[in-house]
Amino acid sequence: MQLSIIDNNIVEEKKGELLVSSIIIAENVNYEHQSVIRLINNYKDSFRELRPIDLKSSGINGKSDYKTWYELDENQVTFLLQLMKNNKITVNFKLSLTKAFSTMKKQIENKKLPTPLETAKMLVQVLEEKEALLLTNQALTKQNTILMHTNDLYTATEIAKEVGLRSANLLNKELNSKKIQYKVNGSWVFYSKYADLGYTSIKQHILENGKAIYDRKFTQTGRDFILKLFEV
């Protein structure tokens, strides 16, 4: 009785290859299996040009359960059937085998294609990764901007203009009235509450007469503090 190729999964997938056992082929073309083995052995070099081929075995040699067989891919099966005599059984088997290989190929392709749910999950993952990357880039841009501005220094005159005052003197007086700074030996210094917040950068300069003078400028952090203070 001839087997049904598709119903019995005669074409098997092994390590990414679609293969048919020589035992199955013999059963479906009404050949003795040893005759099929001999036919393959007679043209083994030709079969090996299509794909490496080795005799498989199971059981213990000499025991009743011992058997050997070849596993052939689609091209090798086609070549083997061409070596056999054409009759109705062989032709029907060729047709069934062609359908079986086609069915298995479609099944493999369907396995590779993601389901709608898998596609949706992948899309969500891509969007999440894209959003995370965007947020990271924005954070880096902001950080780089802050670092760049941190190195900038501003004179009291520059900041005074930004807050709508006519001079640095007026700005210093306003900061004094708000209990932010006071004057010591002719120089403005911050109260202890603000002294260690990095609002100013002070450089000492020694004049030719040996007198030391101090050049105070506001940092970006100090500028931001004053602008916020004046609600600019």
Is residue 28 over pLDDT 50? yes
79: buried, middle or exposed (CB in 10 Å: 19+, 13-18, 0-12)? middle
pLDDT grade for 3, boundaries at 50, 70 and 90:
very low
Burial group, residue 210, by CB count within 10 angstroms (0-12, 13-18, 19+): exposed
Q: Which residue has the higher pLDDT, 197 or 6?
A: 197
Nearest CA to 160 out of 83, 95, 218, 221 is that of: 218
| C-alpha to C-alpha distance for 181 and 188, rounded to whole angstroms | 6
**Quick one: angle between helices 22-29 and 33-42, nearest 10?**
120
Q: What is the mean pLDDT of the chain?
A: 84
State residue 2's pLDDT score.
47
pLDDT tens digits for 134-169? 777 776 665 555 444 456 889 999 999 999 999 999
Alpha-carbon span 110 to 95, nearest angstrom: 23
Burial of 129 (0-12, 13-18, 19+ CB in 10 A): exposed
Burial degree of 225 (CB within 10 A; 0-12, 13-18, 19+):
middle
Residue 80: partners with Cβ closer than 8 Å, 6 or more residues away:
25, 36, 39, 40, 47, 72
**Model confidence at 37: pLDDT above 70:** yes
**Between these two residues, 55 and 107, which has the higher pLDDT value?**
55
Are the CB atoms for 170 and 160 separated by under 8 Å?
yes
For residues 16 and 164, which has the higher predicted lDDT (pLDDT)? 164
Q: How confident is the model at residue 113 (pLDDT cuts 50, 70, 90)?
A: low
**In the numeric block, which tokens belong to residue 95?**
């047709």
| Cβ count within 10 A of residue 197 | 12
Q: Where are the domains positioned within the chain?
A: 12-112, 116-151, 153-229
**Cα angle value 164/168/174 (rounded, 5°):** 70
Q: What is the mean pLDDT of residues 187-207?
A: 87
Could you give the CA distance from residue 232 to residue 225 in angstroms, rounded to a whole number? 10
Q: Which amino acid would we find at residue 84?
A: M
Q: Which ranges of the chain does DSSP label H, i.e. alpha helix?
A: 22-29, 33-42, 44-50, 74-83, 88-112, 116-150, 156-162, 168-177, 192-195, 220-229
